[in-house]
Structure formats: C-alpha cells, structure tokens
Amino acid sequence: MSSAKPRPRWWFLITPPWLAWHAFAVFAAWGMLWLGDWQFHRAEGGNALSWAYTFEWPLFVIFGVIFWGKTIADEFKTRKAADEPGGGAEAAPAAADANVSLPAAAHTAASEDIFDDVEDPELAAYNAYLAGLSSGRKLGRFASPPGGSPPGSTQPTTG
C-alpha cells in the first residue's frame, strides 16, 4: 500500500507546457493592451481611424482571456472524465459523439455516386479550355485571331 497522496487535480497547471501557455497568454494580453494604448495616443493626435482600434484591442484581450480560461476548463473536464471509473481518454469523445444526431439525408453510403454519369457539354468545353491552358495553347474566347492580338487589346495588329 502506497502512502503517497495523489496530486491535486489542478497540478497540470504548473507543468512546463501549461506554464508556457500561461506566459504566452499574459504577454499577449499585455501586448494587446499596449497596442490599444498606442492607438489611443494616435487617435488623440488626430488619426480618426485609431479610435476604432483603441476599443478593438481591449476586446481582443477579452477574447484571449476567455479562450485561455476555456482551455483550462476543457482540460479539467478531460481529466475528470479520465479519472472516473469506466472513463479514459476515449470516454469523453465517445460520450460527445453519442449525443450527436444527423439528419437522415446525411446517412448515405460512401460508395454511392450522387452525380449523373451524363456528360455536361458546358463542363466538357470548360475542361477542354483548361486542358488547353495547361498545355500552353490559347482556346476559347481569349484566342488570338489569325495574325492579330486578342480581342479588346490596344496593341496594333500585324499583318
């Protein structure tokens, strides 16, 4: 029997990858607040567009903090599901998939071809045009007339 206490559930928050994530979140928030302050001073100097950015950068900070908090909450949920009996790394995604229901039209066989085999003449003409472009020939309405430049060109024709 082991006398070692299990680590608290929050212990992952002080592991090196999570410390790097926290540091990134703090520096990103600081940088965005600095940019908001910079835009505020530009706006006071007469740059009217900077007023929008003055209020936009703090909104980015709010979104970043919410995202940071949600990543922590998601990690707690994942670890809690793994700690429960019958849980595990596969349990959380499987439980999430069990609640998803798709419309009946989404349940088609993978090998079923939903397109007709009838050749569309416009599609065939377009594919021929693309094949001509890739081979270096000019086809279709952009083709040069014999001895001249393409229609709509301002260059004089020779011949």
Write down the pLDDT at residue 145: 47
Domain boundaries, the chain: 12-96
Closest CA relative to residue 12, chosen from 68, 62, 79, 67 = 79
What is the residue-level pLDDT of the chain in tens, covering all 159 positions?
Answer: 567 787 777 788 888 988 999 999 999 999 999 999 999 999 999 999 999 999 999 999 999 999 999 999 999 888 888 777 765 555 555 556 667 777 777 766 666 555 655 678 888 888 888 888 888 765 555 555 445 544 444 555 555
